Amino acid sequence: MSNKPFHYQDPFPLKKDDTEYYLLSRDHVSVSEFEGQEILKVAPEALTLLAQHAFHDASFMLRPAHQQQVADILDDPDASENDKYVALQFLRNSEIAAKGIFTDLPGHRHGDHRRQKGPARLDRRRR
């Protein structure tokens, strides 16, 4: 058993926030009064809009700092040709994703992505 004294360390230390924020909309938000206090009133439509954009951004956008780290690989003299190739493909894919487009995958066009009838899957129980 260790005899080291316990030193508290904050498990979630706050750091400088470099996140670039953008204004989604000025609609559906207003200032109102409740019991003599000003409050922010948010309409349900604002939460719906926020959720839609949040899921889109989380699905398709990558942090600029991460993109820069990948881009730096292209100029790194110690990076192998394979490293540079993978970094370039990653950046190309993220450019496509930023447009909200899924890359063309076989069987994922024109609704033909649904499972076709065929042999039963091995993990399916028979009744």
The tens-digit pLDDT sequence of the chain (127 residues) is 678 899 999 999 898 988 888 899 999 999 999 999 999 999 999 999 999 999 888 877 778 888 899 999 999 999 999 999 999 999 998 888 888 766 555 554 555 445 555 555 555 555 4
Judged on CB neighbours under 10 Å (0-12, 13-18, 19+), 46 is middle
- Answering whether pTM is above 0.85, one says no
The helices-and-strands tally (H runs, E runs) of the chain is 3, 2
